[in-house]
Structure 1
């Protein structure tokens, strides 16, 4: 069996719910009408009890004229005997209880000797005497049949109206879902991530449309960044690969022709090949670092950031950098390896521009500053320093891939911090890195009383 569509299921659900409500209301109305009609019959019987004295005075086996229907009124005596207007046609059941001074009448449904439905009311008139009176219910039954036919017709009309209302509601409610479905199908077929859905109102469907638009915008941005990364990586890889191919071709041609190169020239070529391989390896490592997803890292834990900075400074000193430090304890939540890579990139970048004056590294209250004493940067270049593959024109001749500061920005963002680069007073540049954290380790503070 083919599964029904969401619109069909919603229409059926609305139809069933409204039809059930209408049916329940009809049934309750039928019972209420019956109760009111029977109450009217009871009231009419009680109003006729004013002629009960006439019944008692004239009661005889042959019957008499009066306000009572023939044989439908009976007098009950203490000894259990009865006296009716004509032959009693309603059998006496537990109506003798009315002889015990009951303050309220006794009501019941009865059946005549010929099988007709009647309403029976027994009233205590005086000590030891009661009157039983019955009225036929055929008019009540007729009224209830008419009520049943009328309420049944209303229920049918209500079900039809519910079906039409359910169809209208499903069409209106699911129109945004249909637009979303068509948009998703269009994207699946064309891979056009610029598709947007109109957002109307502030309900759940509008929130879903807004979330879908935000998702497609994020995917479009991610794909654009991926294309840009591939293009930039191809551009950056072209230079070292071309240099490597040229040098290796020169060495191969020398071996093939038998014309050996001068030892010093050959040594320079080999050193250049080694440097190009090192630059290529650094570039590939940086690309892998940037290409990993936001969640493609080890879980964040509490890290002693001052120890991370100390380790990065030691690595920079091993590379020949002159670094002066002033570090205060600071504990953050993040990934130690990523933060150490970010700090060493900042130190290497600063050491590159101030090889003689050294680098000043300070960590105070969660703010890490790395200052060099180089030439600084033009103001118009400062907004671009953390972009991938961007390099200042003055640094084109220096080693590097243009990815170091981009890696810093990514690592700091993952840890919930901020990083900036500005010209320092008195010359040079200063990189500022702010990370949320505390002066004491949380695990130690939790143990304190």
Structure 2
């Protein structure tokens, strides 16, 4: 198996295995590469130092030897004597040799001939005539003559072989230790991920959004667990609001539907029995049916407005809030409301349709509770829109509930409305990044305040001026 195939198999394994397996494999491979590099570097340094010291000892021997004895006692086939190991050989310019010892060195004329003149020592591996491997150092003996001295390399080879085996064993143990450590680390590090996985699987199987994951520390896993808990809490709240909306909608729809059914049953019974209603009673009945249909249509439209998600709205664009308020005031006047305005320019980012509906709901709500002939005061300054009526106001204990869905003041039960108008206002303002509140005015009546972030001039105009 070549390196490419091994790499391909490792990649395939890392993709097929679990996250814990992949993490363990990556840690093991990384440590194995680091250990291999360290072992290779250690072997290289050891080899270099050993050979360097070995070469230095040979060089000191050849430079400190008795050159006269070598020159007068060497023979072409070697001799016995102080150099019984056959470690010294003279190389002449004509290619002949003269050695002392039983194992003359086989010359490498191309490299050794450089020492015929004074030069740096020549280091090389070589052999003797009987085939033994040796380390050879060649230096200049005198002009036209080089001297070669050698030492057997068996000791060096055994030392390096032992070092290689030891480093390989240490590397294998290191890789195994890294694998075990990686497995332990992955188990510990991925334990929160396992808890998260089990929680997600539990939610998928049971739809239990009350499941929470313990959060420990402040690392990435802890933030992931916190985000997951926040997500499930938001989903649980959304589902609860949907249930409440459905329950409230069913309750609110029941009244107009019951009234419609009663009136229609009365009309059908009069026709089926042949006892027709008098024209006045029949007209009142039909007017009541029409009014119930109008109330039902308004209620359904309000429900659809509230039922859409926070992101299910028109694209937000830059618009003039004062222009939106002006359009809402004109619509309110068409419905019979007496409205006075004091508006200054203010530009916001939002949905014109939603914001106009919100302002119109505030004006309609103020007009509904104002005495006949009273004016609704609408004022816009620096992103703060106020809608003031001169009605009776609200009890303080009821003010926190005015923006809740289907909530209606006990004093307003007899007035038309579904209890969704101010809830729609709160939703539209929140989508635009603002806030809304309702409070009693000091001298009577109520003041609704809508605050939206924005600027006095359009951003496009400020860019042009810049």
What interval of TM-score do these two structures reach, taking the shorter chain for normalisation? over 0.9
Q: Which has the higher contact order (CA 8 A, sep 6+)?
A: 1
C-alpha RMSD of matched pairs (Å): 2.0
Query: Could you give the per-residue CA deviations for residues 194-222 of structure 1, whole angstroms, max 9, x where no partner exists?
Result: 00011112222111111111110000000
* Residue number in structure 2 paired with 1:317: 333
* Residue number in structure 2 paired with 1:377: 394
> Does the CA contact (< 8 Å) of 2:437 and 2:449 recur in 1?
yes
> Does the CA contact (< 8 Å) of 2:346 and 2:383 recur in 1?
yes
**Which one of 276, 279, 285 corresponds to residue 263 of structure 1?**
279
Query: Could you give the per-residue CA deviations for residues 247-282 of structure 1, whole angstroms, max 9, x where no partner exists?
Result: 111111111122222222211111111111111100
Q: State whether structure 2 residue 209 is matched by structure 1 residue 193.
A: yes
Q: State whether structure 2 residue 457 is matched by structure 1 residue 440.
A: yes
> Does the CA contact (< 8 Å) of 1:63 and 1:70 recur in 2?
no
Unaligned ranges ≥5, structure 2: 1-11
TM, length-normalised to structure 2 = 0.91
> Does the CA contact (< 8 Å) of 1:72 and 1:90 recur in 2?
no
Query: Could you give the per-residue CA deviations for residues 371-410 of structure 1, whole angstroms, max 9, x where no partner exists?
Result: 0000111111111111111111111111100000000011
Secondary structure of 1:375 counterpart: coil
> Does the CA contact (< 8 Å) of 2:434 and 2:452 recur in 1?
yes
**Which one of 110, 117, 140 corresponds to residue 156 of structure 2?**
140
Unaligned ranges ≥5, structure 1: none
Query: How do residues 120-131 of structure 1 correspond to structure 2 at under 5 angstroms?
Result: 120-124=136-140, 129-131=145-147
Displacement after TM superposition at 1:56 (Å): 4.1
Aligned residues: 447
**Take 2:328 and 2:363, find their aligned partners in 1: how far apart are those partners?**
8
* Residue number in structure 1 paired with 2:67: 53
> Does the CA contact (< 8 Å) of 2:89 and 2:105 recur in 1?
no
Query: How do residues 5-404 of structure 1 correspond to structure 2 at under 5 angstroms?
Result: 5-49=18-62, 50-56=64-70, 58-61=72-75, 63=79, 65-66=81-82, 68-76=83-91, 82-86=97-101, 88-93=104-109, 94-102=111-119, 104-124=120-140, 129-354=145-370, 355-404=372-421
Secondary structure of 2:149 counterpart: strand
TM, length-normalised to structure 1 = 0.94
Secondary structure of 1:438 counterpart: coil
**Take 2:31 and 2:454, find their aligned partners in 1: how far apart are those partners?**
58
Displacement after TM superposition at 1:125 (Å): 5.2
* Residue number in structure 1 paired with 2:4: none
CA 1:138 to 1:12, structure 2 compared with 1: closer, same or farther past 3 Å?
A: same
